[in-house]
Structure 1
Amino acid sequence: MIRFILCVIVVVGFLILSIPILLVEWIIGKFNPMAKEISSLRIVQAVFRFILWVAGVKLTVIGEENVPTDTPVLYIGNHRSFFDVPITYPRCPIRTGYIAKKEMEKVPLLSTWMKRLHCLFLDRKDIKQGLKTILAAIEKVKSGISICIFPEGTRSKNEDELDMLPFHEGSFKIATKTNCPIIPMAISGSADIWESHFPRIKKTHVILEYGKPIYVDQLEKEDKKHLGAYTQNIIHEMLVKNRAQL
């Protein structure tokens, strides 16, 4: 329970103490918007790294060379834990927004930081609003901002992490409409940090592997029609391969 309490203290403490930081960055943004955005990115990345350290997460990263550093991408990953964001976000080389559930927008200060970091909020119950979110994500990519989405739609609570929920095909319109590369992410072991033995946080080894970029225009016609299943198969293969290393 000590790690859980410490993580809560870090998160709540940062949100409260960051109020003057938000003000300073707002002023900076009036003169240099890009400097403000990069500053926000690096601050939150540092906080997430500290949270992982407090939680006792030993992170092994594979295939990071597959992530382009000079162009926006669409990150696609499996989703098992609330820690999946702190695990993946510090590795983003450029501005990156995550697509989160609509309920997160109601959390004070947290939603302020999320909006500042180009996160978008998806209403999973409203198809029309969901489409608007995807269209907004397309515009983000066109403006040079990467997008990360977990296309299972929610955290998979299946006992076996290889048993993923189906990937929603609509998520992949972000790539098909912008021609940005898709970066498959396989996150192994993240549920063992917290969810598998809630409410305790345990020292855990997690593996994050990035697959080779998928360029939609280079795929066979059948694979283009089923991008969700195609990408999920790649992630599944990485999860199987890395299971023995946990």
Structure 2
Amino acid sequence: MFRFICIVIFLVSFLILSIPVFFVEWVIGKFNREKRDYSSLRIVQWAFKVILKITGVKTTVIGEENVPDEPVLFIGNHRSFFDILLTYSRCRRLTGYVAKKEMEHIPLLSTWMRYLYCLFLDRENPKEGLKTILQAIDYVKKGISICIFPEGTRNKGEELSMLPFKDGAFKIATKTNCAIIPISMNNTCAIFEKQFPRIKKVHVIIEYGKPIYPDQLEKEEKKHIGNYVQNILQETINRNAEML
């Protein structure tokens, strides 16, 4: 419970103290947009790393060298709020995450998210959902990576299970032919969700898979690309469970 309280205090303090930082970043952006983008990225990554330090989580990272220095589509399984902190704190390039629409209404946090090219997906409105995917495609074309959890929500089922992937997410890759990088995560829900509201010091495993380029897939693999990527993630999750 102590770790949880420390994280809440840090997060609230960070958001409040960042109010003048928004103005500074806005001014920087008027002269050099790329400099503002990367300074915003590093500030948020610093905050995420502090939070992870408070949790005491031990992270084993495999295959990070598989991520090419180009805009990609990160595809991950999703079981914890901490999935975002664990992966975003490691992004070398500008990366926008696709989040649920409800997060757009959280003061200050949503401002940082917009600065960092995050997109808000309305899961109940297919028309608005399509607009979000089209915006993500545009971001990739402009050199910004996108991370999405195609299960659509946090999976609260068995540890090694995944919810069915939603195919719309993969249009980001098929329309741009950017690389798909699978990110498998093991044991992340043990940090917080399993014993809410306590934060537990645990060992998690993150593995970055090899790049998957849609135009290099067989016809049937490309036709069912969601299943293809999900099967790769499932195999990795099952294999890495033995390391815990």
TM range (shorter): over 0.9
Q: Secondary structure of the residue that 1:140 maps to in structure 2?
A: helix
Which residue of 2 is the match for residue 175 of structure 1?
Answer: 173
Alpha-carbon displacement from aligned partner over 1:15-56 (angstroms, at most 9, x marks no partner): 001111111111111111110000000111111111101011
Structure 1 residue runs of 5 or longer lacking an equivalent are none
1:33 matches 2:60: no
Q: Who is 1:13 aligned against?
A: 13
Give identity over the alignment, percent. Answer: 66
- The equivalent residue for 1:143 is 142
| Pair 1:191-2:189 in alignment | yes
Question: For residues 228 and 11 of structure 2, what CA distance do their matches in structure 1 show?
Answer: 36
- Structure 2 unaligned spans of 5+: none
The residue that corresponds to 1:108 in the other structure is 107
Letter in 1 for 2:135: A
Matches within 5 A, 1:216-235: 216-235=214-233
How far is the alpha carbon of 1:90 from its aligned partner?
1.2
Alignment correspondent of 1:211: 209
Question: Per-residue deviation at 1:245?
Answer: 1.1
Instruction: Quote how far apart the aligned CAs of 1:161 are.
Output: 2.3
Query: How far has the Cα of 1:172 moved from its partner?
Result: 0.1
Structure 2 residue 125 is matched with structure 1 residue 165: no
The residue identity in structure 2 corresponding to 1:54 is: I
- AA at the equivalent of 2:28: I
What is the aligned length?
244
Question: What SS does the corresponding residue of 1:46 show, helix, strand or coil?
Answer: helix
Q: Tell me the distance in 2 between the aligned counterparts of 1:103 and 1:60.
A: 31
2:199 aligned residue (184, 188, 201): 201
Once residues 147 and 114 of structure 1 are traced to their aligned partners in structure 2, the CA distance between those partners, rounded to angstroms, is 13
CA distance in 2, matches of 1:236, 1:40: 33
Q: Who is 1:61 aligned against? A: 61
- Cα distance in 2, alignment partners of residues 119 and 127 from structure 1: 19
TM-score, normalisation: structure 1: 0.98
Q: Provide the aligned C-alpha RMSD in A.
A: 0.6
Matched residue, 1:83: 82
Q: Which consecutive segments of 4 or more residues in structure 1 shift more than 3 A? A: none
Quick one: distance in 2 between partners of 1:41 and 1:99? 16
After superposition, residues 92-131 of structure 1 pair within 5 angstroms as 92-131=91-130
**Separation of aligned partners in 1, 2:159 and 2:212:** 23
Per-residue CA distance 1:86-131 (angstroms, 9 max, x = gap): 0000111100000000000000000000000000000000000000
Could you list the per-position Cα deviations for residues 109-165 of structure 1 after superposition, in whole angstroms to 9, with x for gaps in the alignment?
Answer: 00000000000000000000000000000000000000000000000000x222100
Distance in 2 between residues matched to 1:57 and 1:135, nearest whole Å: 36
